[in-house]
A and B are shown apart, each in its own frame.
Chain A
Amino acid sequence: MTTASSAGHSRRDFLFVATGAAAAVGAAATVWPLVSQMNPDATTIAAGAPIEVDISPIAEGQDIKVFWRGKPIYIMNRTKKQIEEAQKVNVSDLRDPQPDSARVKEGHDNWLVVIGICTHLGCIPIAHEGNYDGFFCPCHGSQYDSSGRIRQGPAPLNLPVPPYAFISDSKIKIG
C-alpha cells in the first residue's frame, strides 16, 4: 500500500460510501416489489366490494351469517329483552366501554350487525349462547352480550361493527 495524501483518502472514502449507499438503495428498491406482491391482488380487492343483504326474512330473535371479504358477519334481529339488556348495562363497568346506541343505527335498534370474529384469537363465537344472551366463543370461553360487547373471558375488545348502512327498512349494504 502506498502512502496516500489525506485528500486522496477522502476522495476514495467518498467513492466507497457513495457506492455502498447506492447498493443499499438498490437493495431496498428490490425488496419493495418482493414484499408488496404479498398484499391482496386486484381480483381480491375487486371481490371485496360492498354487498347488499335483504334482511326481511329474519324474524325477531333470529340471526343470519353472511360473508363479506371472507369474514362472517352476524345480522341479528334482537328481541325486546335483548335490547333492554344491552341498553341498561353500566357502560363504565365494561372492559371496552361503548353504549349500545353507538353499535346500532339510529331507528333500527333491533338490528345488530357485527363481524363474528372473536377479538381474542379469531374463532367464530356462537350466537345465542353464554351468560349474556349474546355470543359465546367455544375456543377460549369469551362471552359477548346482546350488543356484541366483551363481558367475560380473555378477549380484549368488543366484536367490531362493519361499515354498513340501511338502504331501506329491509335492505342493508355492508362495506
Chain B
Amino acid sequence: MSGPSDFQLQNPALKWIERRLPIFGLVHSSFVAYPTPRNLNYWWTFGGILSFMLAVQIVTGIILAMHYTPEATMAFNSVEGIVRDVNYGWLLRYVHSNGASMFFIAVYIHMLRGLYYGSYKEPREVLWILGVIIYLLMMATGFMGYVLPWGQMSFWGATVITNLFSAIPYVGDSIVTLLWGGYSVGNPTLNRFFSLHYLLPFVIAGVVVLHVWALHVAGQNNPAGVEPKTEKDTVPFTPYATVKDAFGLSCFVLFFCWFIFYIPNYLGDPDNYIQANPGVTPAHIVPEWYYLPFYAILRSIPNKLAGVVAMFSAILILAFLPWLDSAKTRSSRYRPLAKQFFWIFVAVCLGLGYLGAQPPEGIYVIAGRILTVCYFAYFLIVLPILSRIEKPRPVPNSIADDVLAKGRYVASAIAVFAVAGLLMLGSGSQAQAQEHNTPNPPSLKWSFAGPFGKFDQGQLQRGYKVYKEVCSACHSMNLLHYRNLADPGGPGFSIAQAAALASEIKVQDGPNDAGDMFERPGRVADKFPAPFPNENAARAANGGAAPPDLSLMAKARGYERGFPWFIFDAFTQFQEKGPNYIHAILTGFEEKPPAGVTLPEGSHYNKYFPGHAIKMPPPLSKDQVTYDDGSPQTVDQYATDVAAFLMWAAEPKLEERKRTGLQVMVFMIIFAGLLYFTKRKVWANAH
C-alpha cells in the first residue's frame, strides 16, 4: 500500500543497522507512514484494542503461571493463594479472568463491524479467514483457561466440551480418552490444558502477525466501502490513527476497570468458587457467556452428532462468508435491506446467547430451534439472495467525498445497545437452577457494598466470634490463617491478639528428631483448625451430608435476580448475593413445614434453601453468643455479622480493590480526557 518511502535515518549507528536489517523502515512504513482511510469511525479502533487485550492476557497470564500449580489437588487452592497472598495477586487474577471477557466483547464488535461494512469482500478474503482462525484459537484458549481454576464449572465444562468429540462416529470415544489422558477428566487433563493454554496465545500472536500483514497488503476497509484513490482520501497512521486508537482504547480500559475493581465476579459463575467434585454435577451447567450462542445451537438439535456438527458449522460458516455474500457494494450503509437483516442477525445472536443460559426446557427449546434456523438462514439464504436482488444506493465517489457529505457520524445509541446486550448475556450465564417456589433472599444493607464500601471491623470481630463459637463446630475454613485476622482491611485484630487466638489451638507438627509427631500451640501462620479430620468423618458425623467449607461461601452462592435486575446490577455494582443468601439461610428456618410439605428424615425446613429440606439444624438462637460491645444478641444480628465475616473471608482484599479502583478510575478519566483533546488537536489539521 505504502508508496516509495521517503524514510531517511540520520544517526550513523541506526543507518548501519538499517542497511543490514531494515527494521526501522519496516516499522516506519507499517505504523507511521502507512496511509489509513480518513473516514474511519470508532468501530475501527477495536483492532488496536484487540492487540492490546492479547498483550494484557499474555503478560498477566505469564505472571499468574509463576504462582499457579497445575495439579488437580492443588490448583484450586493455588488460585486462591494468588488472590489472597501474592502482592497484587487479586488484581492480576481479576485482570486476567475479566480480560478474557473483554477480549471476547472486543472481538465480537470487531467481527460485527467487519460484517456490517463488508470487510471480508474482495480483496480481503484471506484477511477475514485469518480472523476466523484467530477467533477459533481464542475459543479454544478461553475454554482451557476456564478449566485451570479447577472449580465445579471448570471441571464440568471440561467434561461437557471434551464429550462433544465423542459424537464423532467410530473413533469418538478413543479421541475423548486421548484428550483426557485417562478414563475421565482428571489431573492429566488439567496438566495438558495448562500446557496448551500457555502455548495457544503465542500461536494467536503469530496468526495476528499474518492478519496484520494481510491487512497492510489489502489496506483497511472503511465505512464508505470504496477504496482510497488519491492522497486526499488517506491520512498517515501516525499521528492520526495512533491517537484516535489511543483514545478509543482508553475508553475501553475505563469500561474494563469497572469490571476489574467493582464487579469482578459479575461475569463469573458462583459454582466455580466450589472446588471440582467429580461426584456432583452443578444443577445448571452453563459455559462462559461468550460461548452461549453456540451452546444454544448445540442444545437445539435433538441428535448428538447433528448438534455438534451444527455448533461447529455455526463458526466455520463464517469462513465462507466472502463467497456467500457476493454483492458488489461493501458497506451496508448503502444496502438498505442488508442493513436491516444485519440488525436482525445481531438480535438473533443475542437471543441465542440468552437462551444458552436458560434451562433446556419448554419454550426455551422451541425458541432456540427457531433462532438456530434464523442464524443459518442469514448466511445460507438471506445473504446469497440479497446479493442478487438488492438494489444498493449509490456509493460516494471517493472517501474525501464521503467525509465532506456526511460530517459527524456517531452511533453512540447503538454502542449502548450493544454493551447492554452483552451485559445481558453475561449475567445470563449466572443463571442458577432454582426451585420455582424458593423466594429470593431479601437484600440487606452492607457496609462493604458500593464503590466506597468498607468492612465494619466491629461487625467482622463479632462475626468471627459467632463463627468460632458456633459454625466452627461443624464447618472448616481451610483458606483462612490466624495471620489474616491482623491483615489490613480485615477484622482489625492486632498481631498480638491474632497470636493469642492462634495459641488457643493445638496443631500437630513433626516429625521430630525421633521421628514422632507432636502437638504444639498454634502460631499465626497456622490455618483455622478443621472440625473433622477428613470429609468422610464430616459426612459420618452429620447424617450423610458433609458441612461445606466456609472460606468461599459468600462467593460460591448466588441466585437469579431476573430480567431486568441483572442488567442494573452491573451499574449499581450489586455484588452481595452471597451474604444476602447466608443471612437468609440462617434466619429462614421454620419449625413446622407448611401444610402438605413432608421432609426427609433428619432434615429441617428452610424457606430460602433450594428444595427447602436442609440437613443443618437451626444453628443460632437468642443470646447464644455473648457480645461485648452491646450489640443485640439476636439471631438476626448473629446472622448478619457472620455473613459479613464470611464475605471478608471470601474476598479479603475487597477494601484494597475498591480503594485502588477509585484511584485508577480517576486517573483513567483524566487520561481519556487528555487523549480526547489531543486527538481533536491532531485531527484539526485533517478535517
Interface of A toward B, CB cutoff 8 Å = 1-2, 12, 15-16, 18-19, 22-23, 25-26, 29, 33-34, 36-39, 41-43, 46-47, 49, 57
Contacts and interface: CB of A to CB of B under 8 A. Distances in A.
B397 to A, nearest CB: 26
Given A2-B685, A15-B681, A46-B481, A36 B674 contact: no
A19 B674 CA distance: 6
Interface string B47-66: 00000000000010001001
A94 B87 CA distance: 42
A23 B670 CA distance: 11
A26 B481 contact: no
B72 to A, nearest CB: 20
Contacts, number: 67
Contacts of B623: none
Contacts of A23: 671
Interface of B is mostly: helix
Given A22-B674, A26-B667, A42 B92 contact: no
Contacts of B59: 34
B88 A15 contact: no
Given A22-B674, A37-B67, A37-B87, 12 more contacts: A1-B685, A16-B678, A16-B681, A19-B675, A36-B87, A36-B88, A37-B88, A41-B87, A42-B84, A42-B487, A43-B85, A49-B523
A16 B239 CA distance: 12
A42 B90 CA distance: 13
A15 B87 contact: no
Contact of B85 (A16, A26, A29, A42): A42
Interface in B645-687: 667-668, 670-671, 674-675, 677-678, 681, 685
B513 interface: yes
Interface in B507-553: 513, 523-525
Interface in B469-486: 481, 483
Nearest to A49: B525
15 contacts: A15-B677, A15-B678, A19-B674, A23-B671, A26-B668, A33-B87, A33-B92, A34-B63, A36-B88, A41-B67, A41-B86, A41-B89, A49-B523, A49-B524, A57-B513
A42 B681 contact: no
A142 B524 CA distance: 40
A23 B253 CA distance: 13
Contacts of B84: 42
A1 B525 CA distance: 67
Nearest to A36: B87
Nearest to B525: A46
B67 A22 contact: no
B674 A18 contact: yes
Nearest to A57: B513
B85 A41 contact: yes
Nearest to A52: B520
List 3 tightest A-B contacts by C-beta distance, closest first.
A33-B88, A42-B85, A46-B525
Contacts of B681: 12, 15-16
B91 interface: yes
A147 B84 CA distance: 43
B674 A37 contact: no
Nearest to B484: A42
Contacts of B610: none
B25 interface: no
B81 interface: yes
Contacts of B668: 26
A10 to B, nearest CB: 13
B532 to A, nearest CB: 24
A169 B525 CA distance: 27
Contacts of A2: 685
Given A22-B670, A42-B84, A37 B678 contact: no
A70 B309 CA distance: 55
